Structure 1
């Protein structure tokens, strides 16, 4: 025996009895495990879906706006041509849908204009003079191809060509 530990043999300690369970020898009932709340996950999913949809819509709108901007700034060269004999009054649309006119123009007549904007539309009208036997034909030409044509025969007859050239 050691003198440091009076009354106890070395390596042995007094044993305490185990506590007895109340409730007749059984442990108290355990509470069921707490269920995790589902609403934060549902709310998070709805918010994520909303953000994804908003981002997708913004991407689509941005792409559409870019394409519209390209189309507005794109220019098309249009050739207005009037063939025939005699003279006539010629009216046409210029850039930005401005109207221009030349009266008593000697035929044949030709003019090139640049058309831009969202709705690229060209218009050409020729009205014959009062001379008998006058005939005129209007043509709108884009990229070397006649897009619109019409012929007028007789005094004061008109031919009108118009349409989209874009």
Structure 2
């Protein structure tokens, strides 16, 4: 058996054979968009949790109360006493004999106490007046002044 002589070669058809289909490309952008949305949701959730916790702590602190004792002592005559109580209300007692003491409850965010005691104008030259702010029975702030119309002033954070 002899083989026929080679003849002209047949050209290949353009493009893939009819039974071959190119694989479909998977779209990447939905995954990227989903990741961005997920990160955004997690960020917003984290912020809400953080601010919610802070708001809760602020609310607790604003409702917490502190018992404060104001005390004025001295060796002069009657004095005028000015002090703050809850909600920064200012009260004044005039011509009070010494020693003088008052208990108040301080609340709110800024737990600040203020006390001023002033000798009257007829006080002797060497007479003293002392103010004290006590928190839980311990002196937190104190100040002493001497002479006629002298003022001893105590103030500060008691929270």
* C-alpha displacement of 1:84: 0.7
Does the residue aligned with 2:51 lie in a helix, a strand or coil? helix
Q: Is residue 148 of structure 2 the alignment partner of residue 158 of structure 1?
A: no
Q: Map 1:118-137 to 2 at 5 A.
A: 118-130=109-121, 131-132=123-124, 133-137=126-130
**Which residue does 1:36 correspond to in 2?**
26
**Which residue does 1:94 correspond to in 2?**
85
**Which residue does 1:57 correspond to in 2?**
47
* C-alpha displacement of 1:34: 1.3
After superposition, give the CA deviation of every residue in 1:53-77 in whole Å (9 maximum; x if it has no partner): 1111101111101000000000000
Question: Could you tell which deviates more after superposition, 26-35 or 75-84?
Answer: 26-35
2:142 pairs with one of 121, 136, 149: 149
**Which residue does 2:3 correspond to in 1?**
none
Structure 2 residue runs of 5 or longer lacking an equivalent are 1-11
Does the residue aligned with 1:49 lie in a helix, a strand or coil? helix
CA distance, structure 1, for counterparts of residue 64 and residue 153 of structure 2: 26
Q: How many residues align?
A: 143
Larger radius of gyration: 1
Structure 1 residue runs of 5 or longer lacking an equivalent are 1-21
Does the residue aligned with 2:79 lie in a helix, a strand or coil? strand
CA distance, structure 2, for counterparts of residue 27 and residue 103 of structure 1: 110
TM-score (norm 2): 0.86
* C-alpha displacement of 1:29: 6.7
1:112 pairs with one of 89, 94, 103: 103
After superposition, give the CA deviation of every residue in 1:112-135 in whole Å (9 maximum; x if it has no partner): 000000000000000111211321
